[in-house]
């Protein structure tokens, strides 16, 4: 696969020049802005940590062309995403959609935060319970019954 | 006191279990190729196409292959990994197990024909996808890739990257035999 990548990179270089020769579909400014945004949300499958907008891989060029043509044909952003997901899977989306499969991804951090907060709160309450000074019900502990007994206990300990 | 013993047990058990689960995920991750993106097309009907045959004037469409188990092998003369895979395909073609359709991806016809003349032609026929659009429909993102399509025209398997003798023997051939029976 490394060799394939090197080959792709070389081809990308070779095709940069030929890309200029191809007549692109004419697009107006609003569409161009929309495409620029959409392309940053889509993943290039060849250079996997780059967006479609950033990548020079030939496949990224082809996919940009597809996206441009679909958009010019009046397809919505969601329809374009569906088109790519049907072919390449959810992996093409940099911003995964909220669905049962991605619940852990979207909500997991909040669940962890809630669990952490709960554990923290409970630990704090337990520490408060364990401190005899704040105990609202001294009868449950084997605490000295009154101040003189406490005094006597202190003296005995010295 | 019983409660605090349980919570003390939980105090080490929860992080320990989380650690084991995480370590399990990371460990299996060591043996997976992150470049292999599982195809959503498995068990879905093969995308339709009608493309010119390489070195001939007629066309081939996916519908023409109904009722047959066949392989679609994506290849190109500029593809380096295809050179490693090619002898295996030639051998597979000689064994006459399954027709192999070549998808000549973003290639030049004369280079592709020269490549086949030099190395042998394992393909039942090769079709020309000059601008890579059929490749996109099939979710191709690297060359070579190989698909197994059943009699009903459903994709049953996808190999990303070059085929190996192991994959052919242990996966492709048994799968083809099984699909042929059904």
The answer to whether A124 faces chain B, any CB pair under 8 Å, is: no
| Contact predicate B154/B45, CB 8 Å | yes
A79 assigned to some structural domain? yes
Q: Do B37 and A89 touch (CB under 8 A)?
A: yes
- pTM comes to 0.74
A13 assigned to some structural domain? no
- The pLDDT score that the predictor gives to residue B90 is 96
Query: Which CATH entry fits the domain spanning B50-181: 2.40.50.140, 3.40.30.10, 3.30.930.10, 3.40.50.620?
Result: 3.40.30.10
In chain B, which residue's Cα lies nearest the Cα of A15? B106
The answer to whether A52 faces chain B, any CB pair under 8 Å, is: no
- The pLDDT score that the predictor gives to residue A18 is 47
pLDDT digits (tens, 9 = 90+) for A65-118: 999 999 999 999 999 999 999 999 988 998 888 888 889 889 999 999 999 999
Average pLDDT along chain B: 93
Q: What is the number of structural domains in chain A?
A: 1
Contacts of B81 in chain A (CB under 8 A): 1, 3-4
The three state secondary structure string of chain A is: CHHHHHHHHHHHHHHHHHHHHCCCCCCCHHHHHHHHHHHHCEECCCCCCCECCCCCCHHHHHHHHHHHHHHHCCCCHHHHHHHHHHHHCHHHECCCCCCHHHHHHHHHHHHHHHHHHHHHHHHHHHHHHHCHHHCCCHHHCCCCCCHHHHHHHHHHHC
Contacts of A21 in chain B (CB under 8 A): none
Assess whether pLDDT exceeds 70 at residue A143: no
Chain B residues within 8 A (CB-CB) of chain A?
4, 7, 33-35, 37-41, 78-81, 106, 131-133, 136-139, 141-143, 161
Q: For the domain that residue A63 is a member of, what is the CATH number?
A: 1.10.8.640
- The pLDDT score that the predictor gives to residue A21 is 46
The answer to whether A95 faces chain B, any CB pair under 8 Å, is: no
Q: How far is A60 from chain B (nearest CA, A)?
A: 9
Cα–Cα distance measured from residue A74 to residue A86, given in angstroms and rounded to the nearest whole number: 19
Q: Where are the domains of chain B?
A: 1-32, 50-181
Cα–Cα distance measured from residue B21 to residue B28, given in angstroms and rounded to the nearest whole number: 11
Half-sphere exposure of B14 (CA within 13 A, CB side): 10
pLDDT digits (tens, 9 = 90+) for A22-39: 555 566 888 889 999 999
Closest by CA position to B142, among listed A10, A6, A45, A67: A45
A70 assigned to some structural domain? yes
Give the mutation candidate from B78, B108, B136 for the A interface (greatest A CB count, under 10 A): B136
Q: How far is B161 from chain A (nearest CA, A)?
A: 7
pLDDT digits (tens, 9 = 90+) for B117-171: 999 999 999 999 999 999 999 999 989 999 999 999 999 999 999 999 999 999 9
Query: What is the domain range of residue A55?
Result: 26-97
Which has the higher per-residue pLDDT, B69 or A14? Answer: B69
- The pLDDT score that the predictor gives to residue B160 is 92
Half-sphere exposure of A136 (CA within 13 A, CB side): 1
Assess whether pLDDT exceeds 90 at residue A136: no
The answer to whether A107 faces chain B, any CB pair under 8 Å, is: no
- What does B73-139 look like in DSSP terms, one character per residue? EEE-TT-HHHHHHHHHHHHHHHHTSS-EEEEEES--HHHHHHHHHHH----SEEEEETTSHHHHHTT
* Residue in A45, A46, A85 nearest the CB of B40: A85
């Amino acid at each position: 696969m490394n060799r394939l990548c090197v080959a792709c990179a070389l081809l990308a270089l070779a095709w940069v020049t030929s890309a200029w020769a191809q007549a692109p579909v004419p697009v107006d400014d609003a569409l161009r802005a929309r495409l620029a945004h959409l392309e940053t949300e889509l993943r290039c499958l060849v250079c996997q940590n780059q967006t479609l907008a950033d990548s020079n891989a030939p496949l990224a060029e082809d996919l940009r062309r597809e996206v441009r043509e679909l958009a010019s044909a009046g397809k919505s952003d969601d329809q374009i995403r569906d088109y790519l997901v049907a072919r390449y899977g959810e992996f093409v989306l940099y911003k995964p959609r909220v669905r049962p499969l991605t619940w852990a991804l979207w909500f997991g951090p909040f669940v962890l935060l809630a669990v952490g907060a709960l554990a923290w709160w409970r630990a704090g309450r337990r520490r408060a319970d364990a401190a005899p000074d704040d105990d609202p019900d001294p009868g449950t502990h084997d605490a000295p019954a009154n101040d003189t007994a406490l005094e006597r206990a202190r003296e005995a300990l010295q | 006191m019983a409660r605090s013993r349980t919570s003390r047990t939980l105090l080490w058990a929860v992080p320990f279990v989380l650690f084991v689960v995480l370590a399990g995920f990371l460990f299996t991750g060591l043996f997976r190729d992150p470049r292999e993106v599982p195809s959503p097309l498995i068990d879905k009907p093969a995308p339709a196409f009608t493309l010119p045959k390489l070195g001939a004037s007629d066309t081939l469409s996916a519908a023409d292959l109904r009722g047959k188990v066949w392989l679609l092998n994506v290849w190109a003369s500029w593809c380096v990994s295809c050179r490693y895979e090619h002898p295996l395909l030639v051998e597979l073609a000689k064994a006459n197990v399954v027709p192999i359709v070549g998808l000549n991806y973003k290639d030049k016809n004369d280079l592709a024909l020269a490549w086949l003349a030099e190395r042998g032609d394992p393909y039942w026929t090769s079709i020309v996808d000059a601008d890579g659009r059929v490749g996109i429909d099939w979710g191709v993102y690297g060359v070579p890739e190989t698909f197994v399509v059943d009699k009903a025209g459903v994709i049953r398997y996808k190999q990303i990257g070059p085929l190996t003798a192991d994959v052919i023997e242990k996966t492709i051939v048994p799968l083809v035999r099984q699909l042929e029976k059904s």
